Structure 1
Amino acid sequence: MSYLTSVLDKSPISDGSTPEQALRDSLRLAQHAEHLGYHRYWFAEHHATPQLASPAPEVLAAWVLAQTRRIRVGSGGVMLRHYAPYKVAEAFNLLASLAPGRVDLGVGKAPGGLPASTAALAAGRAPVGTFEQQLQDLDGFLSGTLPADHPHASAQARPLPQHAPERFLLGASPQSARLAAELGWRFVYAAHFDGDPRSIEAAFSAYREVSSLAPLLATVAFAAPTAEAAARQLGALRIYKLHLAPGQTVNLPSPEAAAEYARQVGVTSYRIEETHPSVLSGDATQVRRALDDLHRRFGVGEFILDAPVADLDARLTSLELLSPAPRAAVA
């Protein structure tokens, strides 16, 4: 099967461990992923989450870029709603100047945290426009193509790298896919949020109507030496969907987090639904077969694999079993 495989890391903190150790684990995993032939290594953005140590993917990316040689490194993604597009463009142009040809800028629309964190990130900042306008501005700052009548047309996001960061929009809707295509960005479907095949097909179809680039698919995937071992490691994975109002839902990692979200937005009448995330798991053959099937069915050009466990040894083993270049790794 002809597709690339890459890694998404949230820097999870194991029970009884520390954020410092989680970050050291992320570096070790990224270096191992490079050795095994993975194409990219991305960091997610999560705020005020006790189980995760990744609030600033651009900082983690800089640290890992400095201690790897070949693998592309970046964000999956920066939550653009919190930031001035100019500042994001500056940060990633700087990264691309430090590590030419190896930097990825993935952007997402979600808040990446509870309402209290979102409010704190917005403190002292002028109101932002729509996400679509923010993304267009970011693209303009990165490429130097802002319209002449734009209020910030004279601001250049320096340094200007010889190899611009590659740009990706993360989403799970036809609207996001179409926006990415219209801007000339790569599109990453977030199957770890919505793995419904009908939703994937609709988003990819919208992207292909405008773009000739192959879409990417981010999915939760975990392999162990046996299917039984994978099941033991995963346990009973759950996502808790908080229903606040008709059509308004939020996915959260625990009932406590769901209740806290409702409290922070001042809602007393809500419902919490326990769901099971879509996970590709089993031994190496089973997970590879599932990836092959998705590649055939949807024409996925690259998979971004998100391992749903915190244990370092288990994550290293999964990387090895799903390695795109197992012979080279052994050699």
Structure 2
Amino acid sequence: MSYLISVLDKSPVREGGTAEQALRDSLRLALHAEHLGYHRYWFAEHHAAPQLASPAPEVLAAWVLAQTRRIRVGTGGVMLRHYAPYKVAETFNLLASLAPGRVDLGVGKAPGGLPASTAALAAGRPPAGPFEQQLQDLEGFLSGTLAADHPHANAQARPLPQTGPARFLLGASAQSARLAGELGWGFVYAAHFDGDPRSIETAFSAYREVSSQAPLLATVAFAARSADAAAAQLGALRIYKLHLGPGQTVNLPSAEAAAEYARQVGVADYRIEETHPSVLSGDGHQVRRALDELHQRFGVGEFILDAPVADVDARLTSLELLSPAPRAAVA
């Protein structure tokens, strides 16, 4: 096999289920993913979402790291705009000290929730600076390379692990790709938000101009025993893109959430665009063939698979059907 396969988990709550059960499901899935030979297991960050139980992915990562032995575990990702880079660096240096060589820090720019949650997360602290500066500060704290004239140059993010966390920037633009490359970070293109092949190619080209690392691709991928069964499990997936003004867009899971977002920010003149996310679904052979084609077309070094299905048995089946283990053994 010429690429790696990993998992993105949002800890979805089953219909009529509880968050506690969703978190137990996540652990069960992570243990099974390790057994099947998946490379990473990442948790997403979503705030005040009744259907998701993952507001603090670093906590979930710590819990799963303690109960696994080989698989890399981390975040996909920490929404950096909400936090002090120094605190994020401390947290992940600590995780990397507890589980050497297995910790990933994936960072994203999106809010991960509605404005009410964003305001609550920002309460009592000064406004965050530009995202690019936050990211540079985070790298400086992690690696101990802050400039001598930096206002926090004397603050060390201890403990200092022998092997620090692997760093990744999640995004869907050439700007994000270039920023990741300039920092020496991995870049994960979010195809589950924008699967336009031209956008993927543009971002990957920008990344390769400044980095020799192979880019990663996050995409919705779900396999079942038949293509019809996979389609029935997935249902009609949609993303609602809220347009608030020139250059201001936010992706939301429903039209109701998009309207509520606009209401919370006090914008009356907005537009909601319904889009269909890029989805790979079918039986195991069909989905693996689609991954092979994406690898060959874009030079993807690793896929981060997002299966937006709450049924844990269906997700376990998908993991088994897409397992890299048999192909890795052959290689």
Give 1:248's aligned residue: 248
Cα offset, 1:234, TM superposition = 1.0
Q: Given residue 299 of structure 1, which amino acid in structure 2 is its aligned partner? A: G
Cα offset, 1:248, TM superposition = 2.4
Query: Contact conserved, 2:193 with 2:239, CA < 8 A, in 1?
Result: no
Cα offset, 1:276, TM superposition = 1.3
Aligned-partner Cα distance in 1 for 2:328–2:140:
40
TM-score w.r.t. the length of structure 1 is 0.97
What secondary structure does 1:110 align onto?
coil
Aligned-partner Cα distance in 2 for 1:217–1:295:
9
Give 2:265's aligned residue: 265
Cα offset, 1:327, TM superposition = 7.5
Cα offset, 1:245, TM superposition = 2.3
What secondary structure does 2:319 align onto?
helix
Q: How many residues align?
A: 329
Aligned-partner Cα distance in 2 for 1:197–1:237:
19
Q: Using a 3 Å threshold, how does the CA distance of structure 1 residues 248 and 327 change in structure 2: closer, same or farther?
A: closer
Q: CA RMSD in A?
A: 1.2
Matches of residues 112-191 of structure 1 in structure 2 within 5 Å? 112-191=112-191
Give 1:14's aligned residue: 14
Aligned-partner Cα distance in 2 for 1:245–1:310:
34
Aligned-partner Cα distance in 1 for 2:148–2:170:
29
Give 1:302's aligned residue: 302
Matches of residues 161-240 of structure 1 in structure 2 within 5 Å? 161-240=161-240
Give 2:286's aligned residue: 286
Aligned-partner Cα distance in 1 for 2:328–2:313:
21
Aligned-partner Cα distance in 1 for 2:136–2:48:
28
Matches of residues 26-175 of structure 1 in structure 2 within 5 Å? 26-175=26-175
Query: Contact conserved, 1:103 with 1:165, CA < 8 A, in 2?
Result: yes
Q: Given residue 3 of structure 2, which amino acid in structure 1 is its aligned partner? A: Y
Cα offset, 1:271, TM superposition = 2.3
Query: Contact conserved, 2:81 with 2:128, CA < 8 A, in 1?
Result: yes
What secondary structure does 1:209 align onto?
helix
Query: Contact conserved, 1:320 with 1:326, CA < 8 A, in 2?
Result: no
Aligned-partner Cα distance in 1 for 2:321–2:144:
42
Q: Given residue 26 of structure 2, which amino acid in structure 1 is its aligned partner? A: S
Cα offset, 1:272, TM superposition = 2.0
Q: Given residue 74 of structure 1, which amino acid in structure 2 is its aligned partner? A: G
Q: Given residue 30 of structure 2, which amino acid in structure 1 is its aligned partner? A: A
Query: Contact conserved, 1:82 with 1:118, CA < 8 A, in 2?
Result: yes
TM-score w.r.t. the length of structure 2 is 0.97
Structure 2 unmatched runs, 5+: none
What secondary structure does 2:45 align onto?
coil
Aligned-partner Cα distance in 2 for 1:328–1:173:
32
Q: Using a 3 Å threshold, how does the CA distance of structure 1 residues 143 and 328 change in structure 2: closer, same or farther?
A: closer
Q: Using a 3 Å threshold, how does the CA distance of structure 1 residues 245 and 315 change in structure 2: closer, same or farther?
A: same
Aligned-partner Cα distance in 2 for 1:232–1:127:
44
Q: Given residue 129 of structure 1, which amino acid in structure 2 is its aligned partner? A: G
- Runs in 1 of length 4+ with deviation above 6 angstroms? none
Cα offset, 1:328, TM superposition = 8.6
Aligned-partner Cα distance in 1 for 2:8–2:187:
15
Aligned-partner Cα distance in 2 for 1:245–1:136:
28
Q: Using a 3 Å threshold, how does the CA distance of structure 1 residues 209 and 63 change in structure 2: closer, same or farther?
A: same
Percentage of identical aligned residues: 89
Aligned-partner Cα distance in 2 for 1:37–1:291:
17
Q: Given residue 271 of structure 2, which amino acid in structure 1 is its aligned partner? A: R
Query: Contact conserved, 1:8 with 1:43, CA < 8 A, in 2?
Result: yes
